[in-house]
Amino acid sequence: MRVSHKSDGRPHPVPGLPHDRNSLPIVIATILREEGITGVHSYVNRLREYLMKHEVAASLVTPFSFGGPLTGPVFGLRLLLKRFSSTASAVWYRYWHEAFLYNALRQYLARIGDCIVYAQDPLAARAALRARQGPHQSVVLAVHFRISMADEWADKKEIKRDRRVFRGIRQFEREVIPRVDGLVYVSQWAQDALLHWLPEASLVPSAVIGCMVTPLPDKSAEKLSADLVTVGNLDIVKNHRFLLTVLAEANRIGRKLTLDVFGEGPLRKDLQQLTHSLGLAEQVRFLGFLPNVRASLAGYRAYVHACYSESFCLAIVEAMAAGLPVLAGDIGPIAELYDDGVEGIFWPLDDPARAADLLLDLLADEQARLKSARAAKERFHREFQPDIVVPRLLSFLAEVAAGTPVAASLPLDSPVLP
């Protein structure tokens, strides 16, 4: 079984945290692959790098850690199913990713002894609850999802809202989430959204701890790449169509702006076609997925964002770290990241003309833009850099491991729900 570890071989105790609280190994469990393009991938990879750098034992277990000859055929069949039914594909994905992750965790947790399993999704949480060897192995769930994983699948049009599979996922979470030993909400909004439909989760020890972004080295000057930049998967929820219509509105009043779009996804072709139909072909570049895109962000004048459903937003924090003012909708947790008129502007996601006016006003006043840019970087350093975020996370995990009664483990033959 392949379990991933990272280390530079040098001990660096976590700032602000006693060394003896760094000693309990952390097992990060996720149904995702080790490498990928989602915000959860970024969160996990940066957390692992920071933990290992500061002498906290950390490992990553995924469904692909289990390996075996069935891995390729089992996961590959999902692509075939998706041609005929996105719902069947989603059910297949959930069933087999949990099954493989459970087997990987069962093997690993049998050897490691005392630890904290930090699950990145409800499927990983249940796999860990089923696989753990006893109360010496705590299970803490990170709430990255928006409301419920059922809503995430429905927002992407993979399943139908309020139908059987949607309800099955909600029921799955209703059974699993109250049984974990701790919950880490990535935003206050994420906590409120979950408790709204699952009040039982309020009985679980919890903390609201945002995601971290590693600071970038300061550079004296940056070559301008384009006026605007946005980062995110090219899917329905990210709402890139809105950004294109804003640029079209700016064109209509004689102000041409350039935009670089970083990300990949199922809507790339549709968005490129819309770009041409709106007469934006010379202004918009689709640059695909770039692993270290944040290193390029300082070369823009502003960061623009149009997603209408978030639990956090790493892309916005990365832009703030790069010293960019932000324009985004006042939805979900966005107001927890920056203040309107300070580090950026809230623009209306249902009014491209008004949004274009706000954008153009910001770019026309260079002093105001630079003031917002400075405020964005300052807020990043106050709230989102690793030495602020990770000690809080480790302190909470240690408290859970030391003092929280552990719920009874799920039976090993527990059925896998949708």
328, amino acid identity: A
Joined tokens for residue 257: 């702006």
Task: Kindly report, residue by residue over 56-114, the tens digit of the pLDDT.
Answer: 999 999 999 987 777 777 777 777 788 889 999 999 999 999 999 999 999 999 999 99
Tell me what percent of the residues of the chain surpass a pLDDT of 90: 75
Q: How far apart are CA 131 and CA 106, in angstroms?
A: 5
Contact status, residue 394 vs residue 344, Cβ threshold 8 Å: no
Q: How far apart are CA 354 and CA 358, in angstroms?
A: 6
Q: Count the residues in the chain.
A: 418
Domains and CATH numbers, the chain: 4-212+386-403 (3.40.50.2000), 226-383 (3.40.50.2000)
**In which band, very low, low, confident or very high, does the pLDDT at 117 lie, cut at 50, 70 and 90?**
very high
Q: Answer yes or no: is pLDDT of 407 > 50.
A: no
Task: Kindly report, residue by residue over 337-387, the tens digit of the pLDDT.
Answer: 999 999 999 999 999 999 999 999 999 999 999 999 999 999 999 999 999
Average of per-residue pLDDT values in the chain: 89
Q: How far apart are CA 94 and CA 63, in angstroms?
A: 11
**In which band, very low, low, confident or very high, does the pLDDT at 413 lie, cut at 50, 70 and 90?**
very low
Q: Answer yes or no: is pLDDT of 412 > 50.
A: no
Of the candidate ranges 76-80, 207-211, 246-250, the one whose mean pLDDT is the lowest? 76-80
**In which band, very low, low, confident or very high, does the pLDDT at 403 lie, cut at 50, 70 and 90?**
confident
**Nearest partner of 338 among 354, 320, 356, judged by Cα:** 320
Mean pLDDT of 190-206: 97
Question: Does residue 198 or residue 76 have the better pLDDT?
Answer: 198
pLDDT at 36: 86
Task: Kindly report, residue by residue over 136-183, the tens digit of the pLDDT.
Answer: 999 999 999 999 999 999 988 899 999 999 999 999 999 999 999 999
Mean pLDDT of 187-202: 97
pLDDT at 364: 96
pLDDT at 344: 97
Task: Kindly report, residue by residue over 11-68, the tens digit of the pLDDT.
Answer: 445 555 544 445 789 999 999 999 888 889 999 999 999 999 998 999 999 999 987 7
If DSSP states are collapsed to H, E and C, what string results for the chain?
Answer: CCCEECCCCCCCCCCCCCHHHCCCCEEEECCCCCCCCCHHHHHHHHHHHHHHHCCCCEEEECHHHCCCCCHHHHHHHHHHHHHHCHHHHHHHHHHHHHHHHHHHHHHHHHHHCCEEEEECCHHHHHHHHHHCCCCCEEEEEEECCCCCHHHHHHHCCCCCCCCHHHHHHHHHHHHHHHHCCEEEECCHHHHHHHHHHCHHHHHCCEEECCCCCCCCCCCCCCCCCEEEEEECCCCCCCCHHHHHHHHHHHHHCCCCCCEEEECCCCCHHHHHHHHHHCCCCCCEEEEECCCCHHHHHHHEEEEECCCCCCCCCHHHHHHHHCCCCEEECCCCCHHHCCCECCCEEECCCCCHHHHHHHHHHHHHCHHHHHHHHHHHHHHHHHHCCHHHHHHHHHHHHHHHHHHCCCCCCCCCCCCCCC
**In which band, very low, low, confident or very high, does the pLDDT at 219 lie, cut at 50, 70 and 90?**
low
